[in-house]
Amino acid sequence: MKLYSYLCKKIKAMPYNNFHKLAYYKKVVELTEQHFEPGVSTYSGIWKKYINPIYPMSYPQYIRILGMPNLNAQYEQAKKYQEERELKRKQKKEATL
């Protein structure tokens, strides 16, 4: 996996499914923010009650997602990349017709 990440950085490309992964992470963070009350709720309680039934994952993975730096910026970059990719695909399809 590290080799794959290294190669993606070298060729300045992003994996196609990175957008979907980041969208998934963003939904998890938004759901956490929706149910979190400072001083009342804990991350483990939110994970057990709201996150794990909808998005099955381990608690350590959940904490890693919450700790991701610049998630929104990464999501926007991946979204832009995917839109460009879809536009190129559409142009190529029209050119062949």
Cβ proximity of 17 and 23 under 8 Å: no
User: What pLDDT, in 10s, does the model give residues 83-96?
Assistant: 998 899 899 888 88
Q: Closest by alpha carbon to 67, among 25, 24, 20? A: 25
User: What pLDDT, in 10s, does the model give residues 13-69?
Assistant: 444 568 888 999 999 999 999 999 988 889 999 999 999 999 999 999 999 999 999
Burial of 43 (0-12, 13-18, 19+ CB in 10 A): middle
- For the entire predicted model, the pTM comes to 0.70
Q: Rounded to the nearest 5°, which phi and psi values hold at 16? A: -60, -35
